[in-house]
Amino acid sequence: MRLKYITFILVSWACFVFVTPLTDLKLEAYFVPKGWPVIGKLSSKFGMRQHPIRHKKIFHKGIDIALPVFSRVVVTASGKIKETGYKRDYGKYVVVDHGHGWNTLYAHLQSSSMHRGDFVKRREMIGRVGQTGLTTGPHLHYEVIYLGKPQNPLYFTTKAESAQPDFSPLASSSQTFSSHLH
């Protein structure tokens, strides 16, 4: 029994060392979403809000970032395309599985050439912003999901990556967020 355990540990370690590039030894940095999928203006935050179309309080599972149609959308962590499709609320969407329980969702896309099973690297383009589904204007709806539960995407962004002036208000806690987009 002890020999089996030691063999298992050695094989696991060898697979990790020889399969994982040295730059990926910090595994968390590899599969945890980080940064912004687009450069735009935050138009609706994570949490309870008055829905702009249904006119009732609904939990918003992600954030909305307003920007022009056809703007590039990039993935925030490397992974495998888990699902693509069209839903009434989300419109055209892509879900990326980053492993270890982490997923991200990108919705209201105008277009995407991604297919289930495709592999994507962090910062790779996965689609273009649109106004599909239940929406009042062009924007990206972005969700971070861990073990099936929505997480606040703002916890996974950094001010350093927000290079354009539209993002500077995000750092201020006194910023008033408009929730006119889904």
pLDDT tens, position by position, 8-25: 554 554 444 444 444 444
Tokens of 133: 């589904």
pLDDT in the model for residue 134: 86
User: Which pTM was predicted?
Assistant: 0.73
Hey, how many other C-beta atoms are within 10 angstroms of the C-beta on 53?
Answer: 13
Cite the beta strand spans of 75-178 per DSSP E. 79-87, 91-99, 102-111, 119-120, 125-129, 139-146, 149-151
**Residue 124 carries which side chain, given as an amino acid letter?**
E
69 backbone dihedrals φ, ψ, rounded to 5°: -55, 145
34 closest CA partner among 142, 111, 181, 136: 142
> What's the pLDDT tens digit per position in 53-83?
777 898 889 999 999 999 999 999 999 999 9
CATH among 3.10.310.10, 3.20.20.140, 3.20.20.70, 2.70.70.10 for 33-171: 2.70.70.10
Rounded to whole angstroms, what are the CA distances from 169 to 41, 136, 162, 177?
9, 22, 10, 9
41 closest CA partner among 178, 177, 142, 166: 166
The structural domains of the chain, with segments of one domain joined by +, span 1-31, 33-171
